[in-house]
Amino acid sequence: MAFPVTRLRRLRRTGELRNLVRETRLTPDAFVYPMFVCPGEGVRKEVRSMPGVFNLSVDEAVREAREVHSLGVPAVILFGLPNKKDEVATGAWAENGIVQQTARAMKREVPGLILMGDVCLCEYMSHGHCGIVKAAGQSLGAAVAAPPAATAEYEIVNDATLELLARTSVSLTKAGIDIIAPSDMMDGRVGAIRRALDEAGFINTPILSYAAKFASGFYGPFREAADSTPQFGDRRSYQMDSANLREAMREIEADIEEGADMIMVKPAMPYLDVIAAARERFDLPLAAYQVSGEYAMIEAAARNNWIDRERVMMESLVSIRRAGASIILTYYAKAAAKLLG
């Protein structure tokens, strides 16, 4: 039936009608709030390129977690800024690592909150890469004993890194992390982590794999927040090329075969087609990460009064849901939850 019998504007006439026929709804229980924890006490240091996002000491992070939970946001994902960095990412897997301390405190103080642990080594490595760095011609033993020379040809060693990721995952779980979320993009890490968790008796700890994580310029502000910028080179030999959708499907498939319980696409808005394709093809819970650069762009424009912050924030989140993600990691989790009331 065509016009004039059909008039699509009939259902857009009032706010009530538009609400009634809305296809995609946002609720705070879809959100995960990323947090950056650092040593010290009473520390609340705003990230320059992410206004409204802070490096928080454990006590402040617990306060913030309580607020997040009271707003109806069910989960946080934790990133750590360690005291000290080295070549084997000791701060990532140390029993008293900064995320481990935070997890113990949050479990005690905010027991209903789901704690996700981002598993990656870049924040804890002297060189800022997500895996062990080995210079050309160097032995693995030498590589983990001293910082690599900045100019030398190097590789990010895949298989030896898996052991550190597995160790980190077990350590985080022991400290109270509920969901392990590897973001390093080494091949085989989901399988290595699953085996290590099972061997340690953590058969019920789910893995949310950053399965399709693209090498992206949108991570810039995060690297300032987490102090994790690579000191030389870039992440293109392990994170995905932004042009590749079919390869993203292979990455996801591989992680599912290795035992991932949930999958993630990251970043979100520049990769909505990847989210939609993943939703179509796989039946696992699907998450998307609205990353630091996506947040920073909206904030920068809003601060100039070039766009309406709330409107663009909600529109960006709805678009991620509409593309097919059921879980959204976003720095707007608190603000959006407040607005959704």
Inter-residue long-range contacts of 93-100, CB under 8 Å, 24+ positions, other chains counted = 93/164, 93/167, 93/168, 93/170, 93/171, 94/171, 95/171, 95/174, 95/175, 97/171, 97/175, 98/37, 98/38, 98/39, 98/58, 99/37, 99/172, 99/175, 99/177, 100/171, 100/172, 100/174, 100/175
Q: Is 219 in the site for ligand PBG (CB under 6 A)?
A: yes
CB 177 within 8 A of CB 115: yes
Say whether residue 130 binds ligand PBG (CB under 6 A).
yes
| Torsion from C-alpha of 82, 336, 181, 128, nearest 10 degrees | -40
Query: Which residue of this chain has its Cβ atom nearest to ligand PBG in the complex?
Result: 222
Say if CB 17 and CB 11 are below 8 A apart: yes
Using the rule CB under 6 A, which residue among 118, 255, 258, 299 binds ligand PBG? 118
Stretch near ligand PBG under the rule CB under 6 A, chosen from 21-29, 103-111, 219-227, 298-306: 219-227
Binding flag, residue 209, ligand PBG (CB under 6 A): no
Q: Looking at beta carbons only, is 33 or 154 nearer to ligand PBG?
A: 33
Would strands 132-135 and 154-157 be described as parallel, antiparallel, or unpaired? antiparallel
For 114, list phi and psi in degrees, rounded to 5.
Answer: -80, 130
Stretch that binds ligand PBG, among 61-69, 158-166, 220-228, 317-325 (CB under 6 A): 220-228
Is 77 near ligand PBG (CB under 6 A)?
no
Q: By CB under 6 A, is residue 183 in contact with ligand PBG?
A: yes
Contact 27, 74 (CB under 8 A): no
Per DSSP, the three-state class of 136 is coil
How many Å separate Cα 313 from the centre of its chain? 18
User: What residues does 86 pair with on adjacent strands?
Assistant: 125
Tell me whether residue 107 is one of the annotated catalytic residues: no
Interface segment toward ligand PBG; rule CB under 6 A; list 94-102, 190-198, 216-224, 310-318: 216-224
Given 174, 266, 334, 338, the catalytic residue: 266
Q: How far is the CB of 93 from ligand PBG (least distance, A)?
A: 15
Measured from the CB atom, is 173 or 228 closer to ligand PBG? Answer: 228
- Asked whether position 325 contacts ligand PBG by CB under 6 A, the answer is no
| 222 closest CA partner among 102, 49, 101, 83 | 49
CB nearer ligand PBG, residue 119 or residue 286 = 119
Name the percent of the chain in helix, strand, coil, to the closest 5. Answer: 45, 20, 35
Q: Is 213 a residue of the active site?
A: yes
| Structure tokens, 261 | 């319980």
* Residue 131: CB minimum distance to ligand PBG, A: 10
Nearer to ligand PBG, 209 or 292 (CB): 292
The one among 115, 122, 196, 263 contacting ligand PBG by CB under 6 A: 122
Min CB(292)–ligand PBG separation in Å: 3
Under rule CB under 6 A, how many of the chain's residues touch ligand PBG? Answer: 12
Which one of the listed residues 85, 107, 174, 213 is annotated catalytic? 213
Q: Is 272 left (phi over 0), alpha (psi -120 to 50) or beta?
A: alpha
In the complex, least distance from residue 69 CB atom to ligand PBG, rounded to whole angstroms:
21
User: Which residues are near ligand PBG by CB under 6 A?
Assistant: 118, 120, 122, 130, 183, 219, 222-223, 228, 235, 291-292
Active site residues: 213, 266
